[in-house]
Amino acid sequence: MRLPLAALALLVAAGCADDATPTTEPVADAVAEIVPSGPDRAVAQIAEVDGSGVSGSVEFIDLDDAVEIRYNLSGLSAGMHGFHVHQTGDCGPDSTGTPAGAAGGHLNPLASPHGAPSARPVQRHAGDLGNVEADASGRAVGVRVDSVLAFDGPTSFLGKAMLVHGGEDDLASQPSGDAGARVGCGVIRRADEAAADTTGADTVATPAR
Ligand code: CU
Ligand code: ZN
């Protein structure tokens, strides 16, 4: 696209005017008022762990007093799969070589036992999101609302790891529901930061800044 010469001249003139103006703050304020700012969003791009073939995304949307969680996963075996926020935003192996072991245990800032997502905050890990159910084609798609996890404060999931397991979380066994191997993992990042990172899921194991 080419700008007419007159338009270019106007732009140059406007640029000179801006240079002569000591502050642009009023302009920034005006833009902030005009552009609607939606709810906070975060996303984890889920990558396979140890050749599992699992992939997809988990999105978090701030509802002020709760968080909406939208998941879209594929490559799973049919049935139930443990679904948790783990405490460390690292999908690499741990020191013993366990795939995605570096993500550590379930996010548990309140020092609670493992439990069901419907349990009270002192009776579940903040990261306990129970299970997702995959259909016969291996897809698990759904939405849920959680009132323990949050964008801010001690139960924040930002910078943590979203994990999907090969087996079902029984919602009772300690310390993690006996959900089996880690088959999918992604670091949860603010959506605008995730979008700005053009290298995408390849950097999933790299700590954000
Ligand atoms: Cu887990
Ligand atoms: Zn747990």
Domain membership flag for residue 202: no
pLDDT in tens, 16-44: 444 444 445 555 555 555 556 778 999 99
Just list the catalytic residues. Answer: 84, 86, 106, 114, 125, 128, 165, 182
Q: Are residues 49 and 29 in the same domain?
A: no
- The closest ligand to the CA of 86 turns out to be 1
Q: How far is CA 171 from CA 27, 111, 139, 178, 209, in A?
A: 53, 16, 22, 8, 34
Q: Are residues 105 and 142 in the same domain?
A: yes
Domain membership flag for residue 87: yes
Q: Are residues 78 and 107 in the same domain?
A: yes
Number of domains in the chain: 2
Asked whether 70 and 128 are in contact (CB, 8 A), the reply is no
55-62 and 67-74: which strand pairing?
antiparallel
Domain membership flag for residue 22: yes
Range of the domain at 26: 5-34
Domain membership flag for residue 86: yes
Q: Are residues 11 and 48 in the same domain?
A: no
Query: What pLDDT, on the 0 to 100 scale, is given for residue 91?
Result: 98
Of 142, 87, 141, the residue nearest 114 (C-alpha): 87
* Residues at Cβ < 5 Å from ligand 2 ion: 106, 114, 125, 128
pLDDT in tens, 139-184: 999 999 999 999 999 999 999 999 999 999 999 999 999 999 999 9
Domain membership flag for residue 205: no
pTM to 2 decimal places: 0.78
Length of the chain counted residue by residue: 209
Q: Are residues 13 and 75 in the same domain?
A: no
Domain membership flag for residue 158: yes
For ligand 1, the distance from its centroid to the CA atom of residue 188, given in whole angstroms, is 14
